[in-house]
Structure 1
């Protein structure tokens, strides 16, 4: 099949959606499909280049004002660009990852030619609200959900990463069936490490002491301040792999809290080294409140780590309290500290939880995800809604 994937975020952007889209595109290409991705330029100017077996169509972009680590494609000219691209490629199917600037233009262009559309949702307004004044939260949330319903109602088949995410869409008035399809995790890369933790820690110049790890964007909705506030009561170091707009604020908080000597910011960690971050850790923490799945949590589980996560949105689907980790109520710093201490206090319990995490992650193998999307594409091509 010739498949066109449209997305407003793609590597080197750092987000679960961008990583998922990259793995899906390259996975489909490895199976012999002719895969094209239209997304924001990583450098500014428009360019059409091959990357990792995928033909990239990168549109002119600028930094997003409220989130400068993300590049944004100004809407002027995008509908025309997508009409031209779709007419040139005439893909068998369009798979859009969002309903923003590029996604909605791609969907409109596909409909002009009768090309079936598969749409996946990775978005919830809570990802955006922390960057806006409080008085705007309610109206922006209302408008955002209305816009989502209006655009995605036109797709032929809809997916989202988890059943919790599908339930969220129904709760906000989306009346169509939405199929949960996991973002998946690459077990070829993420698995329990055979190297001792001390060796993995040396790779990042970390002390050989109990280690809590986080991987992802250092942004407001991740609630990383709660982990730093909990750290005075937890005998461990906290390692953060990623970049984001809240890094300097978190660094200042670590100094004010008196734990700066136990908080390590690794910055951007290249994809090839990411498994080492998990190998260096004893427990993974995910305090975010806007996770429709959390690919980083899945990677940690596949790597054999217990997980302490916020009891919010889809994270309870990944963490079974007492089995592979613990949940805590967002904002309850003492509860977070207690959960981390329960994991760190017993090597035997950590080993048991590590095995449970790895076993639970098995059902999210990325090869199943790619295979399911192949089936969905063929289904919409044959006129079936599966």
Structure 2
């Protein structure tokens, strides 16, 4: 099968959408499908590259300087008085945005003889819409997956923060209408579907919850060699509270730092390890100085590959204070590595972080509750071991192999259905009158 994946966020950017899109492309290729990914160019210029057996068409792009591209560390912020740093407002290495991708998509497909059997759109931006337009003109079925929550962007743009509630509602309506252009729509969890559609069963196309999944062959419980601690200058005799992901405002890591400060009253031998980078890094570093805990909070920057997996493995508990997850791949990864998890009781997190089963759910920004939950796990090894065991059972439902198989089934459904539909407008009109 020839499959086109359209993703306005793609590797080497590091976030849930880009990681899932990359996993999807790799696994479909391994199963014998011809895969072409359409994504923004990281250099700005159109280019085509081959990687791991599939093709990535990098479409011309411009710099969006208010959101990091996450492909390289943010430049060091300027400091005042030796310690206080100025938050970054303008980013030279901002997110790359393809403004007019349709012609390049059309040209690539024409001159390379690539006519997809199905198009799978990962994000509702310019490339996603252009691929839908291309698919409609060429009678190609479309599958749309909505991974994102509007808060993931607009709550992080400080200039728009006061208007974010209105903008978020507008974007939710937009993403719903975007999905209605598809032949089949998926979201990572049932809660995500319910947030967008009051009655999904009445939608004109099927809507289904399909987990993003992770590769359970890679993320496993395993003892980490002491050399890993030496490599990253981490203490070997402390209890480790772990947070992994984008270091942006909507992730509410400041709440976690405040909770960690409270936790130190009962667990003086604990440390907080934050893995990732983002626009809120400066504010968080300032906060640790203000709370006088900078020597107990480790900012590790972006990590990938085996190092990322080992950061999960060395944790005693994984904690996220983010209220904006549509599923949260990091929760999947932590559970797969046998770690108790703590999250916010909003949206889809409860499907992975099950309160009292493999961790605890807390109210949004409830510092005391998060601190108390951390203390319960760190001070009770029997409870932590029980949560770890239960998490390993829960994660079995989120094996990436199951996810890929499910999408193959969906692709076949929409391709078979599209083959029975009339191709030209005259036939469509006649068919409508017959009905």
Give the TM bin, normalised by the shorter chain.
over 0.9
Matched, 1:89 2:114: yes
Distance in 2 of aligned mates of 1:86 and 1:110: 11
Structure 1 residues 113-124: aligned runs within 5 Å: 113-124=138-149
Superposition RMSD in Å: 1.9
Deviation at 1:377, TM superposition (A): 0.5
Partner of 2:381: 347
CA contact (8 A) 1:86 1:110 kept: no
Corresponding position of 1:20 = 20
CA distance in 2, matches of 1:296, 1:172: 29
Residues 37-76 of structure 1 mapped to structure 2, 5 A cutoff: 37-69=37-69, 71-75=95-99
Q: What corresponds to 1:8 in structure 2? A: 8
Corresponding position of 1:146: 173
State the TM-score, normalizing by the size of structure 2. Answer: 0.84
- Counterpart pick for 1:207 among 228, 235, 241: 235
Mapped partners of 1:232, 1:247: distance in 2: 18
Paired position in structure 2 for 1:267: 301
| Distance in 1 separating the partners of 2:105 and 2:144 | 16
Q: Which residue of 2 aligns with 1:33?
A: 33
TM-score, L = length of structure 1: 0.95
Given the superposition, is the C-alpha separation of residues 214 and 172 from structure 1 closer, same or farther in structure 2, using an over 3 Å criterion?
A: farther
| Structure 1 unaligned residues grouped into runs of 5+ | none
- Cα 1:346–1:384 change in 2 (3 A) is farther
Structure of higher CA gyration radius: 2
Give the drift of 1:71.
Answer: 2.4
Pairwise CA distance, 1:200: 4.3
1:291 maps onto 2:318 in alignment? no
CA contact 1:200–1:279 (8 Å) conserved in 2 = no
Q: 1 CA distance for matches of 2:411 and 2:324? A: 28
Question: Do residues 170 (structure 1) and 197 (structure 2) align?
Answer: yes
Corresponding residue for 1:337? Answer: 371
Aligned residue runs from structure 1 range 191-206, under 5 A? 191-195=220-224, 200-206=228-234
- Equivalences, count: 383
Please give the per-residue CA displacement for 1:116-158, whole angstroms capped at 9, x wherever unaligned: 0011001221112211434422442243233223322110000
Residue 246 of structure 2 corresponds to: 217
Q: Which residue of 1 aligns with 2:395?
A: 361
Distance 1:142 1:313 in 2: 15
Give unpaired runs (5+ residues) of structure 2. 70-93, 420-435
In 1, the alpha carbon distance for the partners of 2:250 and 2:228 equals 29
Counterpart for residue 73 of structure 2: none
